[in-house]
Structure 1
């Protein structure tokens, strides 16, 4: 069921994990749709034996948990040894299409990389990631996914005692930029070559022209891999920003080689549109603010490139530098394409770009609710009254008339534009205040709000009067935390 495929990698990249059983594990939720896709029996996962595995208490025969080693730049400072301090990799499964996924427990106890931490997780961060990752998947953003969550029956100590929980999540791969940095700073070329070969041929085989070669040229493969990862990150960050999503901690150890959103910590969605918004309570200098995410991704890619070099005069330097220089253009093309879809525009021309820029200026000046603005725009068209009082009705009216003129004269006209907008503007996102309500209820033992919000955010394009409403001023969440 779970193949220990990672153990074929160089031993420097992983460590064995000793299980730390908890006292009274109970199931909080099983993602039945994902379980079925991965070949798991949801009934078995909910059984005593299944919950024992999900809680890290006891493993089925052949399942040998391990923790991955990695390094990383954290808020710009390099830390040479980080690793899975509260996560353990159980193994690999294949879905119904033959695609492999790694299964990991998060919050299951200490590993050799835990340092001073307890390796545990509280129920709040577990349910936040469960909700958010599945919401992102439903919208169409590449992400790790939540397979299950269990309560441990034990408290964890943070600012106060909180109910403990463990998340089971899956990913195409848990390789990060920090994985390559870990090997590179130790001069471990064997490990670097193994990771390059795996990532290029398994994660990006459709792009790699030498994937079928039994003895591929690793030197050439590095550039092919780097180009693929840069493309994936341009797509990912563009998708984040088109949705108003802030990751919160874009350290290099949180940047997935698979191009997935990973390690949900102090993330948040914009309510009012504030381009330089920072939610994370630990990001005191705003390094990972909303409008800096593409620049940070480019910076992280430069660190990735450095870790792929085998010598000072490496032939890969020039082509990888060109890819880094082109990254901002790649991101802008993806981002503007997504914003054009949100506005029902054909995109790709100067006139449409001017409408997009004008839209962002209006959102900034008026501090409008980001998600609701796009969702309700076709109904309001050039209505300057709308749902809120505007600071500058004339500026909004001028922009709205330009937008209406562009979409009316596009192929298919206004109706086609509205159809496109309805497919690219979710009605429901995991709004910060709704997630906080779920956490408070779950800490008190009530999971009904969690299941209600989960159902809403996994059907993001369906109208839902309860969950699509913006927060009141009293409900607004201004700061988020990672919960470690």
Structure 2
């Protein structure tokens, strides 16, 4: 298969009403869910990185990716037969407040491709130029943010976290002016375009916008389409079908939140327009990874005051967003009972997924009620002692419960501590916790080998720490993009020991504690 044999059906455009006007003129778009707009060509497209897994899913190979035409297409300079570019129209609640029309401001979908097996993949360029929804922005993306999106999309997939994917990262040969921290110091930076891939990019905000405008018929058409295209396993009709669909969106979202909490991922900007109806991680902006365990940490400079989107609050924010989603859907229901049932299903699903995470991360056959308290107490100690979340749990996989009365030691966890004084201050409590954990393991039926294998799958050794991404960005901005593929290759096997790759599993170095890109990031990051 080659680029020209990709088949597109563009079902979203075919089934739903679009904007009468074409082109990128900024405008309010009513009564329509999309606008046709072409990517703006760039000066010198050059492919910097590709995901070989996504190439394979699309039926492409390394020769396709190495071609000049590949770079032209996935920078936005050329279209393949059947591509029909468009940007979608949606709204959203941002930082708890209704923001009105938002839309794809720097994302342009090239089309929906369907393979011989019927698998659907929407190909979307981020940073390909202005759209009607760009407001005052230029629709472009800088290299640093594009590297971060490309790497994290694929890293999350290999961690087993539901996510949109990335096919390619293409440099544009043009500079983009950005004020990274909105502090009045803009500067030119190298530009890039990411091609991201998903079965659907529909967000909660797609449904909120028509509801907010009283466009109930348009809302119903969108719901019917989403169920038909993206949830074909659901059957029935009318309010019962809608209730089943809403409930599944809620449970998928709950499971996604549990996965974020399992691996220490912080999205950073959980607005309703950044939650997928498929329960996928979407829109990698000012995200971050927990280094020292801190439930109050957010990577987003815009959120530094209120910390609405901090790590520990992500499940609660997801529920809040789903309530807004339910309000948008309420015109399609006679009462609130079915929608409340979906919200309740979120809570049930999250509790079940969280308990499963506890069992897997602690190496238990199943999570008992006392194990929830055991994990809660551990989190409190990790926070107080400034302990690296990833390194602690990875070391815990090799913890030997020993015989009753044996005194555990913190020696296997030495690399997980950031502050020796805090370590020493909390050492007695941590040792006491290990004693409790050892007693629990001795009471659990899992054999030791099976326990360790299970824990290794739940407790990755390699995650995309911000400082690792920043090191790759620094090299790429200096003209050496080889670090992108090097880091991605490690992240493909996050749970395996990889001799010679120890530098990718080290705790955050001191120089990265407060450095831009390694700690706090802005929405332009």
Q: Which category of TM-score, normalised to the shorter sequence, fits these structures?
A: over 0.9
Question: Counterparts of 1:303-452 in structure 2 under 5 Å?
Answer: 303-310=324-331, 314-381=333-400, 382-385=408-411, 386-387=413-414, 388=417, 389=420, 390=423, 391-452=425-486
TM-score scaled by length of structure 2: 0.87
- 1:214 corresponds in structure 2 to none
8 Å CA contact 1:264, 1:482 repeated in 2: no
Q: Which residue of 2 aligns with 1:472?
A: 509
Check whether the contact 1:73–1:252 (CA below 8 A) recurs between aligned residues: yes
- 1:197 and 2:216 matched: no
Of 449, 454, 477, which aligns to 2:488? 454
Contact 1:30 1:46 in 2 (8 A): no
Alignment RMSD:
1.7
The CA deviation string for residues 214-267 of structure 1, in whole angstroms up to 9 with x for no partner, is xxx233222111100000000000100111110000000001011100001100
1:483 aligned to 2:504? no
Distance 1:95 1:276, change over 3 A: farther
1:70-85 alignment, distance < 5 Å: 70-85=90-105
Aligned to 2:134: 114
Matches within 5 A, 1:232-251: 232-251=252-271
Partner of 1:132: 152
For this pair of structures, how many residues does the alignment match?
Answer: 475
Q: Which runs of 5+ in 1 are unaligned?
A: 211-216
Paired with 1:183 and 1:56, the residues of 2 have a C-alpha distance of 29
- The corresponding residue for 2:312 is 291
2-structure distance, mates of 1:444, 1:87: 26
Q: Residue 4 of structure 1: CA displacement?
A: 2.0
Counterparts of 2:81 and 2:64, CA distance in 1: 15
Q: Whole-Å Cα distance in 2 between the matches of residues 92 and 60 of structure 1?
A: 12
Q: Distance in 2 between matches of 1:438 and 1:421?
A: 29
Shift of 1:30: 1.9
**Preserved CA contact (<8 Å) 1:223 1:316:** no
- Residue 351 of structure 1 deviates from its aligned partner by 2.6
Change (3 A) 1:194 1:43: farther
Q: Distance in 1 between matches of 2:249 and 2:261?
A: 18
TM-score (norm. length: structure 1) = 0.94
CA distance in 2, matches of 1:359, 1:413: 23
d(CA) in 2 for partners of 1:264, 1:96: 30
| Matched residue SS, 1:155 | strand
Choose 293-302 or 412-421, whichever is displaced more. Answer: 412-421
Q: Contact between 1:196 and 1:221, CA under 8 Å: does it hold in 2?
A: no
Helix, strand or coil for the counterpart of 1:57? coil
Q: Deviations over 1:42-96 (max 9, x none)?
A: 4234322222110111212321100000001111121221111111111112357
Rounded Cα–Cα distance in structure 1 between residues aligned with 2:397 and 2:42: 52
Report the secondary structure of 1:308's partner residue. Answer: helix
Structure 2, unpaired ranges of 5+: 1-5, 19-31, 180-186, 401-407
C-alpha distance in 1 between matches for 2:39 and 2:277: 28
* DSSP 3-state at the match of 2:111: strand
CA apart distance, 1:354: 2.5
